[in-house]
């Protein structure tokens, strides 16, 4: 459902016969809700918590678009290829909750640095222990079938 349909649905849900001012207020609030998620989520009962997900999604999208922008074709009647690609990429990054944790983010959080494979020494040790455990498990008993005995 696109934004216009969502706003129209919100307007249609107004009980009774609303005044033009009430319709305008509902439409503006619906557009704001759909287009611009507020920097602070006031629906959270614990208080106003900054919504970092949108900021991080914007940063990731901008970085990727900067890298691939030169490969996007800018011809045709509307020339919206760059904008459409950016909007689609942003929605995918935002909806999935993807986030990039940089080495600077890790150091600010007091986390150990990552090694050459992108994981910490402790994480590597944990993964190796699980692999060793799987390798040392006894093999399941397998009964071979001798098809030559069946007559």
pLDDT digits (tens, 9 = 90+) for 37-95: 555 555 554 445 556 677 778 888 888 888 887 777 766 665 677 778 888 888 888 88
Strands 40-41 and 49-50: antiparallel
- Determine phi and psi for 8, rounding to 5 degrees: -60, -40
The answer to whether residue 126 scores a pLDDT higher than 80 is yes
So what's the pLDDT on residue 16? 86
Closest CA to 100 of 144, 52, 47, 35: 52
So what's the pLDDT on residue 41? 52
Percentage of the residues of the chain whose pLDDT score is greater than 90 = 3
Instruction: Render the burial of 19-46: b for 16+ CB within 10 Å, e for the rest.
Output: eeeeeeebeeebeeeeeeeeeeeeeeee
* Cα of 75 vs its chain's centroid, Å: 30
41 forms beta bridges with 49
Residue 64 or residue 140, greater confidence: 64
pLDDT band at 117 (very low <50, low <70, confident <90, very high): confident
Mean pLDDT computed over every residue of the chain: 77
Give the residue extent of every domain in the chain.
Answer: 1-36, 46-100, 104-132
So what's the pLDDT on residue 139? 79
The answer to whether residue 151 scores a pLDDT higher than 60 is no
Is the pTM higher than 0.95? The answer reads no
Mean pLDDT of 126-139: 88
The answer to whether residue 135 scores a pLDDT higher than 60 is yes
The answer to whether residue 108 scores a pLDDT higher than 80 is yes
């Amino acid at each position: 459902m696109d934004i216009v349909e969502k706003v129209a649905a919100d307007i249609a849900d107004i009980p009774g016969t609303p005044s033009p001012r009430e319709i305008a207020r509902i439409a503006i609030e619906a557009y704001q809700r759909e287009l611009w998620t507020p920097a602070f989520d006031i629906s959270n009962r614990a208080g106003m918590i900054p919504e970092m997900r949108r900021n991080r999604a914007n940063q990731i999208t901008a970085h990727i678009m900067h890298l691939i922008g030169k490969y996007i074709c800018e011809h045709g009647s509307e020339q919206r290829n760059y904008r459409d690609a950016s909007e689609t990429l942003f929605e995918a990054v935002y909806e999935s909750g993807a986030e990039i944790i940089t080495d600077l983010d890790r150091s600010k959080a007091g986390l150990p640095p990552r090694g050459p494979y992108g994981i910490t020494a402790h994480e590597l040790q944990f993964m190796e222990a699980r692999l060793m455990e799987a390798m040392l498990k006894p093999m399941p008993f397998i009964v071979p079938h001798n098809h030559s005995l069946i007559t």
